[in-house]
């Protein structure tokens, strides 16, 4: 199927737009003449953009842990007209040992990082297919490729999002729908100051979990090298590319960490080659 002609003015749907990368991307799209439906939990956070850009910005309150709310807001956005670009950006992290996490913390983490993006993606696939194409941007993380202590539920969500997106991208490529996983590293978005911590237990205080917790508790935003405005510009540019990549690593720290993780994984895999082949039938 030939790619549809690129629109001069496009319509976006962006979750988690009240701050960080979501807000920067919302502002970047508006500044370039596009229309944005931005979902937030605090609508006042985008009041200045609404005053500046008027009815080109629609702000909707959305709690991603409530599936019925997701369906309602997505349906409302689609009633206003075709959506060209969807950005699943909303997220947060629960920090602590897996043993310390409550069942509620785990469920909410997976609901926001994985289930909600899956539901939002699914909701937009049919209209994008019928309109001849579209873009879906999944804001993953270096944590979608690399695992560290204290982030087990966060990694479960992001690794799950990566697998879901890779599979769906192959299902819909014939329809002109492109999916891209954006993998930022440490970025100055205020993410660290908004981390949710488990109740610490003595058993984990002095091991890798405790050391990681101490580091995160004392981390300064200036230690993060990623510029969210530059990230937003890079993501926006990708949405104009006729053949965008499936994965978009952003940040020198992301590149280094992912490269090291993949190299280690490949080395471990190659060491298992003979064992892998040994379980096959020989006749």
Task: Decide: residue 30, CB within 10 A, 0-12 exposed, 13-18 middle, 19+ buried.
Answer: buried
Q: Among this protein's residues, is 140 annotated catalytic?
A: yes
* Cα dihedral: 151, 157, 162, 168 (round 10): 180
Q: What is the mean pLDDT of the chain?
A: 92
Return the domain boundaries, the chain. 11-276
Q: Active site residue: 140, 141, 152, 153, which one?
A: 140
Any bridge partners for residue 195, and if so which?
none
Residue whose tokens read 């911590």:
197
Type and span of the H or E element at 134: strand 134-139
Which one is the CATH code of 11-276: 3.30.70.930, 3.20.20.190, 3.30.365.10, 3.40.50.720?
Answer: 3.40.50.720
Q: Active-site residue among 18, 141, 152, 154?
A: 154
Q: Which tens digit of pLDDT belongs to each residue from 114-133?
A: 999 999 999 999 999 999 99
- Cα 132 to Cα 128: distance, rounded to the nearest angstrom: 6
Give catalytic status of residue 158 as yes or no. Answer: yes
Q: Which of 18, 152, 158, 204 is catalytic?
A: 158
pLDDT tens digits, 180-235: 999 999 887 777 767 899 999 999 999 999 999 999 888 877 777 888 999 999 99
Strand pairing report for 85-88 and 11-14: parallel
Q: In the annotation, is 236 catalytic?
A: no
Could you tell me the mean pLDDT of each successive run of 10 residues in the chain, 283 residues long? 68 93 95 95 90 94 84 88 95 95 96 95 96 97 95 97 98 98 87 84 96 88 83 95 96 95 97 95 84
């Amino acid at each position: 199927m030939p790619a549809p002609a690129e629109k001069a003015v496009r319509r976006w749907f962006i979750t988690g737009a009240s701050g960080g990368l979501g807000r920067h991307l919302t502002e970047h799209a508006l500044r370039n003449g596009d229309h944005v439906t931005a979902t937030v939990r605090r609508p006042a956070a985008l009041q200045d953009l609404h005053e500046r850009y008027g009815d080109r910005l629609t702000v909707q309150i959305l709690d991603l842990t409530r599936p019925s709310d997701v369906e309602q807001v997505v349906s409302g956005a689609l009633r206003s007209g075709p959506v060209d670009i969807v950005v699943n950006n909303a997220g947060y992290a629960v920090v602590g040992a897996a043993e310390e996490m409550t069942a509620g913390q785990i469920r909410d983490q997976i609901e926001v990082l994985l289930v909600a993006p899956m539901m939002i993606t699914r909701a937009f696939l049919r209209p994008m297919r019928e309109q001849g194409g579209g873009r879906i941007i999944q804001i993953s993380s270096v944590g979608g490729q690399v695992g560290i202590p204290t982030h087990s539920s966060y990694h479960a969500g992001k690794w799950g999002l990566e697998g879901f997106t890779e599979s769906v991208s192959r299902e819909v490529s014939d329809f002109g729908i492109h999916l891209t996983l954006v993998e930022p590293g440490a970025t100055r978005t205020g993410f660290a100051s908004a981390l949710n911590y488990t109740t610490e237990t003595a058993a984990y205080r002095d091991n890798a979990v405790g050391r990681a917790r101490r580091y995160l508790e004392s981390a300064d935003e200036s230690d993060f090298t990623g510029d969210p405005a530059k990230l937003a510009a890079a993501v926006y540019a990708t949405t104009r590319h006729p053949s965008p990549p499936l994965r978009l690593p952003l940040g020198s720290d992301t590149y280094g960490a992912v490269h090291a993780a993949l190299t280690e994984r490949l080395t471990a895999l190659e060491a298992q080659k003979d064992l892998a082949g040994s379980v096959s039938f020989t006749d």
